[in-house]
Amino acid sequence: MKSKKGQISIEFMLIIIICLGYLHLLTINVLEPAINAAEDTTRLGQAKLSAEKLASAINEMSSSLGEGKRTLHLFVPKNSEIICNIGSPASISFAMDLYGQSIYACETDGDSNNKKCTSEIDLGNITLDCGGVDLSNPNADKGKFVKVTVDSDSGDITLS
């Protein structure tokens, strides 16, 4: 008699373990796209905030009279870059590679690539020298902090 009760208990435990394993696999496959979308949205917000912070500092320095200097500490999320565009008009833009499926903010950003999110902030007609500042982060593991100095000399802006 004891062996049948033990056999039933072992079979019951095996059925429970198989069910839990199946449930685990099902849950991971359903949640992974949502986790990737949440991470992409967070990184997109961080990249946008850093680009807006830099654009604001450039606009502030270009509108001030005389010489000035402002130092910023920007966070560049992983697999993204902040781009300094000289020209007329000058602009600051950012680009970020997505991990998961496309998110709505990237579908409406004006380009046809739904796996890369881009946006541009117009700075107007200012003289901008990017000074070779590297604001890219191809590192897939973590974001990085970058120190950027915005110098103003009679309306001419230099990044270093």
Q: How many CB atoms lie within 10 A of CB 120?
A: 16
The reported pLDDT for the residue numbered 10 is 87
* Closest to 160 measured CA to CA, from 146, 142, 144: 146
The reported pLDDT for the residue numbered 3 is 62
Q: For the whole model, what pTM was predicted?
A: 0.77
* Closest to 83 measured CA to CA, from 26, 42, 25, 128: 128
What are the Cα distances from residue 157, in Å, to 13, 35, 122, 137, 145? 70, 40, 15, 24, 22
Q: What is the pLDDT of residues 17-50, one digit of tens each?
A: 999 999 888 888 888 888 888 888 888 889 889 8
pLDDT band at 15 (very low <50, low <70, confident <90, very high): very high
Phi first, then psi: give them for residue 145, nearest 5 degrees.
-95, 140
Share of the chain above pLDDT 70, in %: 88
Share of the chain above pLDDT 90, in %: 8
Please spell the DSSP secondary structure of 7-24, one letter per residue: HHHHHHHHHHHHHHHHHH
Report the length, in residues, of the chain: 160
